[in-house]
Amino acid sequence: MATVSFKGSTRIYPGTDVPAVDSLDLEIEDREFMVLVGPSGSGKSTALRMLAGLEEVNEGSIFIGDRDVTNAPPKERDIAMVFQNYALYPHMSVADNMGFALKMQGIHKEERAKRVMEAAKLLGLEEYLERKPKALSGGQRQRVAMGRAIVRSPKVFLMDEPLSNLDAKLRVQTRTQIAELQHRLGVTTVYVTHDQVEAMTMGDRVAVLKDGVLQQVDTPLNLYDRPKNKFVAGFIGSPAMNLITAEIVDGGAKIGDYVVPVARDLLAKAGDDKTLTLGIRPEALHIADAGLPVKVAVIEELGSDAFLYGTADHAENQQIIARIGTRLHNDKGTLVHLAPDPDRLHLFSTSTEKRLG
């Protein structure tokens, strides 16, 4: 097994001035499941391809273990990659697809069959070994792609949005299987996704990227509880955190005519700014007699939960989301008052977008 280190790693595509990945410094521990997450264009897939040897590293270096692989060809990096589109050979059986890389390495037929069967048992694919990919479901094809990576016993697994082609229910089921499998195998894994729910539920740690720049790397819960900046706060969490511009006044942050109490020492950290961004998770808002006036747009009943979507009365373009008790029948257009839990507020600088306190 192995650690992975990005050391100031930069990728600039020909014809562009802005790096796709900009001076990435990231240490991935042995046996760790690291998730790279971010919106489209954030550089997460480029970083993975740099690690795989499929993209040039223009500046900096990449290490697998104590070996500098910055300029090493992909076949010499001892990695196995699982792609978004499975990349299975349609004319080969499942067994032949899983064992193809071993065949290319000159591994003896009996050893290949043994390793393919071991992987098939891990993945529940024993009964499908003689089938062709076209006779399999999307989830089964994804498991074959996983099996092809497993049989090689690599130092590092690389996974590039492997669940994006699956339907919602199968995606949830398969992400659980991948996380469990990685834990059992103990192989260092770098996993790319744009889905922050996947990132939160699968990763030992999560690295959040934006425009090629690493924003924060931490455990899922730490990212959720203490985002370092406004971008991370808005990206991590589903439904998303409410981010509201508020005027700094004596003893609080003013939204419209409503003042949210905020400690003076925190307000002082805003410096010369006249406003700040107030971050409130949906579960930190509750319906009260006094609070931020919100006009109800829709209530989503999810059985065990319900979410109120509305617009702040002071600003029509400010959407507010609150998790409320189920079976509250507020009609569309009703005005309710939402009060935040004062111990669960997140404050961000208007000028730097960094966390205050």
Residue 301 and residue 230 share a domain: no
Cα separation, 298 vs 320, whole angstroms: 11
Residue 187 and residue 243 share a domain: no
Residue 125 and residue 218 share a domain: yes
Residue 267 and residue 215 share a domain: no
The domain tally of the chain equals: 2
- pLDDT computed for residue 152 by the predictor: 87
Q: Is the pLDDT of residue 331 over 80?
A: no
* Segment 47-87, tens digit of pLDDT: 999 999 999 999 999 999 999 999 999 989 999 998 888 78
Q: Would you say residue 355 lies in a domain? A: no
Residue 150 and residue 110 share a domain: yes
Residue 168 and residue 39 share a domain: yes
Residue 66 and residue 11 share a domain: yes
Q: Would you say residue 304 lies in a domain? A: yes
Contact call for residues 136 and 128 (beta carbons, < 8 A): yes
Strands (E), 132-222: 156-160, 188-193, 205-210, 213-218
- pLDDT computed for residue 1 by the predictor: 65
Burial environment of residue 182 by CB neighbours within 10 A (0 to 12, 13 to 18, 19 or more) = buried
Q: Is the pLDDT of residue 328 over 70?
A: no
Q: Would you say residue 354 lies in a domain? A: no
Which residue did the predictor score with more confidence, 116 or 171?
Answer: 116
Task: Find all residues with CB under 8 Å of 77, minimum gap 6, and list them.
Answer: 51, 52, 53, 64, 69, 156
- DSSP β-ladder status, 252-255 and 242-249: antiparallel
Provide the pLDDT confidence category of residue 34 given band limits of 50, 70 and 90: very high
Region 184-194 average pLDDT = 94
Q: Would you say residue 141 lies in a domain? A: yes
Tokens of 93: 């059986």
Least confident of 30-34, 165-169, 261-265, 328-332: 328-332
Q: Would you say residue 356 lies in a domain? A: no
pTM of the model: 0.90
Dihedral, 60, 66, 69, 75 alpha carbons, nearest 10: -160
- DSSP β-ladder status, 205-210 and 213-218: antiparallel
Task: Write the CATH number for 296.
Answer: 2.40.50.140
| Nearest alpha carbon to residue 194 among 166, 167, 240, 160 | 160
Tokens of 294: 């919100």
Last residue of some domain: 199, 234, 269?
234
Q: Which amino acid would we find at residue 26? A: L
Contact call for residues 356 and 266 (beta carbons, < 8 A): yes
Last residue of some domain: 234, 257, 292?
234
Q: Would you say residue 29 lies in a domain? A: yes
Q: Would you say residue 53 lies in a domain? A: yes
Cα separation, 32 vs 1, whole angstroms: 10
Q: Would you say residue 145 lies in a domain? A: yes
- pLDDT computed for residue 317 by the predictor: 81
The range of the structural domain enclosing residue 321 comes to: 239-349
Cα separation, 50 vs 172, whole angstroms: 28
Cα separation, 346 vs 228, whole angstroms: 10
Provide the pLDDT confidence category of residue 327 given band limits of 50, 70 and 90: low
Percent of the chain with pLDDT over 90: 70
* Segment 229-247, tens digit of pLDDT: 999 999 999 899 999 999 9
Residue 112 and residue 188 share a domain: yes
Last residue of some domain: 201, 234, 267?
234
Residue 20 and residue 109 share a domain: yes
- pLDDT computed for residue 115 by the predictor: 92
Give 304-357 as a DSSP string. S-EEEEEEETT-TT-EEEEEE-TT--PPTT-EEEEEE-GGGEEEEETTT-BB--
Residue 151 and residue 77 share a domain: yes
Task: Write the CATH number for 64.
Answer: 3.40.50.300
* Segment 88-129, tens digit of pLDDT: 999 999 999 999 989 988 899 999 999 999 999 888 899 999
Residue 143 and residue 17 share a domain: yes
Region 253-274 average pLDDT = 92
Residue 299 and residue 202 share a domain: no
